Amino acid sequence: MFSIRSSLQCSKRLFSSSTLRPSYIGSSPIFLPSEVKVELIDREEPIIIRKGRSVLNMTKAAKVTGPKGELSLNVPDFLTFIKNSEKLSLKIENEDDKQQKALWGTTRAVLNNHVTGVTEGHLAMLRLVGTGYRAQIEDRPNGEKFVAMKVGASITQGLIVPEGLTVSSPVPTRVIIEGIDKQKVKLFAAKLRDFHPPEPYKGKGVYVDDETIKIKDKKIK
């Protein structure tokens, strides 16, 4: 289902004009499940982004609603939505303009992730590799969840679970992060990984999803 409304403020997701995506990504249609609703909305207060001589006007916002929740993203003024049956296509005014082509692909990719997020959700899994490495989810007095990790340091490290994410630890060496916003899921996984990125000599560390590293031989003097 697709409709257009006006005068609604949405989330403040911004796009960098330096992010390049091939134009064929932007032209690929997005398949919309029957339970997903996408709305293209005029922003009450357009966001203006200046980079050098270029000016980018974010005058619209796309709101994606599904069984698991709602997400939104800002959309530049040169981009329009076209719905055909159960497909949603994105069009830009000038396919020869580098900035428009870059944001065409980026916007399409994020929007497609949002559609998947509100229907199926996104997931990241962390593997803790190393003797004594472990994680557990702790409840804080204020109701927040805290991911406590013991990954080689003399102290327990960790982070508060951001709003909108669900984190579990089925076994001490695994952490599962779930949420509808792919960017938020992967960003939190990356922050936890930073406590002990995989090291190349013994292979110890925090691995995300199917991440692997090449083990190096120690130099003998």
Distance between CA atoms of residues 153 and 56, nearest Å: 45
Task: Give all domains of the chain, ordered by start, each with its CATH number.
Answer: 30-120 (3.90.930.12), 122-208 (3.90.930.12)
Instruction: State yes or no: pLDDT of 220 exceeds 80.
Output: no
Query: What is the predicted pLDDT for the residue at 126?
Result: 98
- pLDDT one-digit tens code per residue, 142-184: 999 999 999 998 899 999 999 999 999 999 999 999 999 999 9
Helix spans in the chain (H): 23-27, 98-119, 182-193
- Residue 192's φ and ψ, nearest 5 degrees, are -70, -40
- pLDDT one-digit tens code per residue, 39-83: 998 888 888 888 777 788 888 999 999 999 999 999 988 899 998
Prediction pTM value = 0.82
* 194 in Cβ contact with 202 (< 8 Å): no
